[in-house]
Structure 1
Amino acid sequence: MTPNLRHLRVFLAVLDTGTVTGAARACHVSQPAASQAMARLEAEAGLPLLNHGRDGAGPTEAGRAFGRRLRRALGRLDAALGAVAPRLVLTATRAQLTALIAVRDAENFTLAAHRLGLAQPSVHRAVTQLESDAGRPLFQRNGRRMQPTRAAEVLADAARLCFSELDQAAADLGEISGREAGRIVIGAMPLSRSIVLPRALAEFRRLRPSTALSVVDGPYEDLLAGLRRGEIDLLIGALRQPAPVPDVTEERLFTDDLVLVARPGHPLLAAPLTVSALTGFPWILPRADTPSRAHFEQALVALGAGDLPRPALIECGSAILMRELLRLSDHIGCISRLQASAEIALGALVPLDLALPGSARPIGLSHRADWLPTAAQARFVAILRALGQGL
Structure 2
Amino acid sequence: MSNAISSFPLTLKQCRVITEIMRKGTEKEASASLNFSQPSVSRALSQAEQALKVSIFTRGWSGAEPTSEGEIVISSCNSILQSIAKTERQLQQNVKVLLKLKAYVEWRHLMIIEAVVHVGSASVAAQTLGMTQPAVSKTLKEVENMVQQPLFLRARRGLVPQTAAKQLASLFLRISPVAHSLLPSIQSLPNELTGRLSVGMLSFSCQDIVPIAFASIFKQHSGIRLQAMQGPYHMLANALRQGEIDCFLGLMRKGPIHPELIETPLLRAQYTLIARADHPVHTSAKTLNDLTNERWIVARHGTPIREYFEGLFHSIDNKPPIQALEMLTFASSEELVIHSDAIALLFYDDWNINQLNPRLKQIPITLPNAECTIGITRHRERQSTIIQTFIEELTLTIQDKLASTQL
Deviation at 1:259, TM superposition (A): 0.4
For residue 296 of structure 2, the aligned residue among 271, 278, 283 is 283
For residue 318 of structure 1, the aligned residue among 323, 326, 329 is 329
For residue 372 of structure 2, the aligned residue among 346, 350, 361 is 361
Measured in 2, the distance between the counterparts of 1:160 and 1:380 equals 20
Alignment partner, residue 395 of structure 2? 385
Deviation at 1:168, TM superposition (A): 9.7
What percent identity do the matched residue pairs reach?
23
Q: Structure 1: any 5+ residue segments left out of the alignment?
A: 1-39, 45-94, 128-158
Q: Within the alignment, does 1:328 sit opposite 2:243 as a pair?
A: no
Deviation at 1:328, TM superposition (A): 2.0
Alignment partner, residue 243 of structure 2? 230
Q: Within the alignment, does 1:113 sit opposite 2:28 as a pair?
A: yes
Classify 1:381/1:312 alpha carbon distance in 2 versus 1 (closer, same or farther; 3 Å): same
Aligned counterparts, 1:121-160, within 5 A: 121-123=36-38
Native 8 Å contact 1:247 1:369 kept in 2: yes
TM-score of the superposed pair, with normalisation by structure 2? 0.53
Q: Secondary structure at the match of 1:347?
A: coil
Q: Deviations over 1:10-38 (max 9, x none)?
A: xxxxxxxxxxxxxxxxxxxxxxxxxxxxx
Alignment partner, residue 351 of structure 1? 362
Residue identity in the other structure for 2:343: I
Deviation at 1:386, TM superposition (A): 3.1
Deviation at 1:290, TM superposition (A): 0.5
Native 8 Å contact 2:277 2:361 kept in 1: yes
Q: CA RMSD in A?
A: 4.1
Q: Deviations over 1:186-229 (max 9, x none)?
A: 11112434332133223323333453211111222221111111
Alignment partner, residue 183 of structure 1? 196
Q: Structure 2: any 5+ residue segments left out of the alignment?
A: 1-6, 43-57, 72-185, 403-407
Q: Within the alignment, does 1:266 sit opposite 2:279 as a pair?
A: yes
Q: Within the alignment, does 1:197 sit opposite 2:210 as a pair?
A: yes
Residue identity in the other structure for 1:184: L
Residue identity in the other structure for 2:28: A
Measured in 2, the distance between the counterparts of 1:236 and 1:226 equals 13
Deviation at 1:366, TM superposition (A): 0.9
Residue identity in the other structure for 1:119: L
Classify 1:263/1:222 alpha carbon distance in 2 versus 1 (closer, same or farther; 3 Å): same
Alignment partner, residue 307 of structure 1? 319
Native 8 Å contact 2:285 2:291 kept in 1: no
Classify 1:300/1:206 alpha carbon distance in 2 versus 1 (closer, same or farther; 3 Å): farther
Q: Within the alignment, does 1:372 sit opposite 2:383 as a pair?
A: yes
Measured in 1, the distance between the counterparts of 2:354 and 2:329 equals 13
Measured in 2, the distance between the counterparts of 1:288 and 1:255 equals 22
Alignment partner, residue 128 of structure 2? none
Deviation at 1:118, TM superposition (A): 5.8
Measured in 1, the distance between the counterparts of 2:275 and 2:228 equals 30
Structure number with larger C-alpha Rg: 2
Q: Secondary structure at the match of 1:298?
A: helix
